Amino acid sequence: MTRYHNGYVPRNALICIATGTNSVGYWEHLLSPSQKYKHDALVARAKARTKGRILRITTGYCAYRPYAAQVQAKRKYGPDAAAPGYSSHGGTYNGRDAMAMDYGNWPSVYNGFGGQTAFYEDCRAVGLTPGVIARETWHVIDYDPWAAVPSGGQGTSAQPSEEDDMYDDGKHREVLTAARPVKLYKMGSGIIAVGDEGGFWVIPSEAYLNLLIAWEIAGPNLVNRPIDQNELTAMRGILGATSNSATAARVEAVLNLTPEDAERLAAAVGRQPVVLSEETLGEIARAAAEGAREGGADGAAAAISSLSFVTTIAA
Global pTM reads 0.52
At residue 60, the 3 state secondary structure works out as coil
302 has pLDDT over 60: yes
CA 93/CA 98 separation, integer angstroms: 6
The residues that bridge with 190 in the sheet, in sequence order, are: 187
Phi, psi torsion values for 90, nearest 5 degrees: -95, 0
pLDDT tens track for 15-54: 999 988 877 778 899 999 999 999 999 999 999 999 999 9
CA-angle at 261, arms to 260 and 263, nearest 5°: 65
Q: 299 vs 51, which has greater pLDDT?
A: 51
* Residue environment code for 164-196, b if the CB has 16+ CB neighbours within 10 A, otherwise e: eeeeeeeeeeeebbeebbbbbbebeeebbbbbe
CA 106/CA 118 separation, integer angstroms: 10
Provide mean pLDDT across the span 208-213.
Answer: 84
Provide the pLDDT for residue 309.
Answer: 53
Cis preceding-peptide flag for 33 (omega within 30 of 0)? no
